[in-house]
Amino acid sequence: MVEAIDQVFVNLKHAVVGWAPPAWQAWVSAGLTVAALMGVFMSLFALVVLLERKGLGRIQNRPGPNRVGPWGLLQPMADFIKMLTKEDVVPAGADRVVHFLAPVAMVAPVLLAYAVLPVGRNMAAVDLDAGVLYFFAVGACIELSVFMAGWAGRNKFALLGAMRAIAQMISYELPLMLAAVPAVMLAGTLSLGGIVEAQAVPAGGWLARWHVLTPWGLAGLALFTIAALAEANRSPFDLPEGESEIVAGHLVEYSGFKYALFFIGEYLGMFAVSGLGITLFLGGWRSPASFLDWVPSYLWFFAKLGGFVALFIWLRGTLPRVRGDQLMALAWKLLVPMALLNIAVAAGWHYSAGWSFAGAWLARWGLGLGILGLGYGALARGLYESQGFGPRVYRFAD
Amino acid sequence: MSRGVRLVGLGIVKGLIETARNFIGSYRDPRRLVTVEYPEVRLPPVERARTFPMLVYDGADPEAGLRCVACKICEKECPPQCIYIEADRDARGRVLKRPRVFDVDCSVCMGCQICAEVCPFDAIKMNTEYELAVADRFGGLLLRKSQLVRSTEYHRTVHPQEAVEIDAQVAQARARAEAKARAGGGG
């Protein structure tokens, strides 16, 4: 029974594919997978946009949207109709082809990234051997689209925003990948399915071996989340869009459905990178303990995804936007060294697995957390004192 | 430089706790929500609020009780010249002390309140109605006398303090005038 509920979508797909003529089966299978992924994540997008607005409202002691439908539930529909009916303005000086292609180049790679994401047991569209590599390769295409958007509009604000975005995304690509390296190293595979497998409940135990339950996994998840925030252009790293200084950055010359596509791409990218974080550190679709295995795997995945998204919304409601130099300093002076240190700690964790003296468990944890803590203390203190993260010093006034 | 911060990043955690407190608090205590959900809920009237002019009348009949005597001071003083007044005339063509036409073009009016300040008869006062949208932006925004008249009771609801003072003054002046008339009639 549990098995049937867990595999209901997989079995449904197999039934439909089996019913199709043999020559079409591959196409039907692919089409069904793509349709399911698109449908689920697009609905999630609509829901998240609404919940984000309501959540931010509550954080600011406002009720949030509550006019369209009961509790404002139809608000995404109203937004969508508004976006569709808006005029699509292309500036006179724009590079029309690039201007048209940029939103497509935003959404397409993001959707491609979902191909390797295991959203449940046997529920990855393709389980590539180099899934992590593929994910990052596809994710890097978003930078191209942002720069296309900034360039095509022939607008200085758009160009400035695009240049900020490029600098930010390339800088944060590095800590994002370096944070993912330990998980790949210790699982011994680049396949996302294999990484999930490596976090399974060990034989005879009851607690899953989620990577986050290790010192390097904890630090890795934190680093990954910060870098993912920056990759997704989310607050507090939303400099490329900086409404207050450069209008909307690369989006300034976009309206109507093209703008909506950027918006969709941004949110789908956020879900995708959160999904990768879940797969790498939080056990993917696996339950935390064997006695919770009766909950379907896809529910675990989406619950974790919901947690990630809630954290992102919470951070957006809390933190002000960082300055450009602070952004760069954070990446290069804190995240990258910490990620490198984390790889060393992960290696130490791997080679200390054989320790068998009394209190070995405590020693491994203490050592790992100690090294990471000391590294963080030193690096963060340096950042705090050199880069103006601390209290503001007024040189001319005072 | 202060050495107060022991652990870098603690400020972020403090901020997160604060916003979480707001988030949960807004569900537990509805008084935290400051939003006034406008069409259903309205703010109480504010004494000093003002939008466009109105004509105050005493008693029940807007025609008979109108305080305005068509002196046209407001028309002359109005900076954007949005007031148009024509005095009424009797059958023999003599000017009567009441307006036949009193128009305010509220597409021109800037709500400066000068008309209300210069009126010696306290006949023109500022209204506080703000739902004035109309489909016709020329004729619809030109308010006629019949649309401008408001009773003293209404005046008391929108500007309570001001209205009470003025009503007292008006009553006093009327009593004086009546006493004078009686004295004149007796002598």
Res B2 pLDDT > 60: no
The string of pLDDT tens digits covering residues B132-176 is 888 988 888 999 988 899 998 888 888 888 888 888 888 888 888
Pair (B61, B105) in one structural domain: yes
Pair (B59, B23) in one structural domain: no
Distance from CA of A232 to the nearest CA of B (A): 20
Are the beta carbons of B32 and A390 separated by less than 8 Å? Answer: no
pLDDT in tens, chain A (398 residues): 777 777 878 788 888 888 888 888 888 888 888 888 889 998 999 899 999 999 999 999 888 888 888 888 888 888 889 888 988 888 888 888 988 899 998 889 888 888 888 888 888 778 888 889 999 999 888 888 888 988 888 888 888 888 888 888 888 989 999 999 998 988 888 888 888 888 887 777 778 788 888 888 889 999 999 999 988 888 888 877 777 777 777 888 888 888 888 888 889 989 999 999 999 998 888 888 778 778 888 888 999 999 999 999 999 989 888 888 888 888 888 899 999 999 999 998 888 887 878 788 888 888 888 888 888 888 888 777 776 666 666 777 76
> Is B145 in contact with B55 (CB distance < 8 Å)?
yes
Q: What is the largest CA-CA distance in chain B?
A: 96
Pair (B101, B144) in one structural domain: yes
Of A55, A318, A390, the CB nearest to B16: A318
Strand arrangement, sheet containing B53-57:
B124-126, B53-57, B149-151
Pair (B61, B117) in one structural domain: yes
Give the model's pLDDT for residue A387: 63
Are the beta carbons of A58 and B1 separated by less than 8 Å? Answer: no
In terms of CA atoms, which chain B residue is nearest residue A54? B23
**For residue B38, which residues of chain A lie inside 8 Å, CB to CB?**
none
Strands B95-105 and B83-89 come out as antiparallel
Whether A394 has its CB under 8 Å from any CB of chain B: the answer is no
How sure is the predictor about B6, in pLDDT bands with cuts at 50, 70 and 90? low
**For residue B40, which residues of chain A lie inside 8 Å, CB to CB?**
none
In chain B, the number of structural domains is 2
Pair (B157, B87) in one structural domain: yes
Q: What is the pTM of this model?
A: 0.80
Pair (B141, B173) in one structural domain: yes
The answer as to whether B62 is a domain residue is: yes
- A34: CB partners within 8 A, 6+ apart: A125
The answer as to whether B151 is a domain residue is: yes
The answer as to whether B38 is a domain residue is: no
Pair (B15, B60) in one structural domain: no
**For residue A390, which residues of chain B lie inside 8 Å, CB to CB?**
1, 5
The answer as to whether B48 is a domain residue is: no
The answer as to whether B187 is a domain residue is: no
DSSP letter at A287? -
Pair (B61, B103) in one structural domain: yes
Domain that holds residue B162: 53-177
Q: Which comes out higher in pLDDT, residue B86 or A377?
A: B86
Give the model's pLDDT for residue A388: 64
Give domain limits for chain A. 1-85, 86-324
Give the model's pLDDT for residue B185: 60
Pair (B59, B109) in one structural domain: yes
* Burial of residue A118 (number of CB atoms within 10 Å: 0-12, 13-18, 19+): buried
Pair (B21, B64) in one structural domain: no
The answer as to whether B46 is a domain residue is: no
The answer as to whether B44 is a domain residue is: no
Give the model's pLDDT for residue B1: 41
> Is A76 in contact with A84 (CB distance < 8 Å)?
no
Are the beta carbons of A62 and B18 separated by less than 8 Å? Answer: no
Are the beta carbons of B33 and A61 separated by less than 8 Å? Answer: yes
Cβ atoms within 10 A of the Cβ of A284, count? 29
The answer as to whether B6 is a domain residue is: yes
In terms of CA atoms, which chain B residue is nearest residue A64? B35
Res B79 pLDDT > 90: yes
Give the model's pLDDT for residue A284: 82
Cβ atoms within 10 A of the Cβ of A395, count? 6
- B171: CB partners within 8 A, 6+ apart: none
